[in-house]
Amino acid sequence: QGQFTLLRDTRTDGSFLVHHFLSFYLRAGCKVCFVALLQSFSHYNIVAQKLGVSLAAAKERGQLVFLEGLKSCLDLLFGEEEQPEQPSPLQFLSCRELRALFDFVRASLAPADGHAWKGPVLLLDDLSLLLSLGAAPVAVLDFIHYCRVSVCCQLKGNVVVLVHSNEDSEDEENELVVNSLCHHSDLILWAQGLATGFCKDVHGQIKIIKRLSLRQAAEQDVVQIYQYKIQDRNVTFFAPGLSAAVL
């Protein structure tokens, strides 16, 4: 509880980590606010069904609050005018601030009478799109800071965020956000593509960084590296050099 987990991918797609955490927290009985900016609800629901979880059922019982960013953007830009009493969480498309999105997250995870969820969780896929939609890096970092204070500190919940990164990228704003989040994360799961290129038995490697130094200055971070292969319903992890292609 109270942890900020950063999912980072480089030269590969780290979406499998988002699907894992989404199904994991729903099965654990947590209240989940999922800010999905990358894909539609039907896409996440199809993948979740393969993992044994129904997002539609979770929404009906109030366990899952789903913000479909693609649809919300279209409604805000081309739809009817929003109601004053129901502002869009994606108001930053016009006013460049993320206050409305934070208010949506805080209201979605606020404790409710009659429900005994084990803990609140904010899941965001993916943060880099906020920059692509026009939000300033400072506004994005402020938004994450307030979410950490509200969800992790006050509500004793967890925040899981996916970001894309590339060491050779010329997108300085995105790299600024990624590097800043790395310094404030309790746990970093960094999915990386293989430097040698495509392999049918190894889809990439994942670096697990446990930020012990964040809580205790005298401690050193624990780093573990595994390779992985994504299958239809699960992901297989193994030590480097122990894949089926080698053995």
d(CA 74, CA 131): 17
Q: Enumerate the domain spans of the chain.
A: 3-76+89-197
Q: 36 with 66: CB under 8 angstroms?
A: yes
Q: For 200-232, how does the pLDDT look when each residue is reduced to its tens digit (9 = 90+)?
A: 889 999 999 999 877 777 788 899 999 999 998
pLDDT in tens, 127-162: 998 888 888 999 999 999 999 999 999 999 999 999
- What's the confidence (pLDDT) of residue 18? 96
Non-local (6+) Cβ contacts of 147 within 8 A are 102, 105, 122, 159
Model-wide pTM > 0.75: yes
pLDDT cut 90: percent of the chain above it: 60
Buried b (16+ CB within 10 A) or exposed e, 163-178: bbbeeeeeeeebbebb
* Tokens describing residue 161: 């965020």
**pLDDT tens column, 156-187:** 999 999 999 987 777 899 999 999 999 999 99
Q: Are the beta carbons of 21 and 176 closer than 8 angstroms?
A: no
pLDDT at residue 219, rounded to an integer: 81
pLDDT in tens, 28-58: 999 999 999 989 999 999 999 999 999 999 9
Q: Which two tokens stand for residue 232?
A: 């239809």
CATH of 3-76+89-197, one of 3.40.718.10, 3.30.1330.30, 3.40.50.300, 3.30.465.10: 3.40.50.300
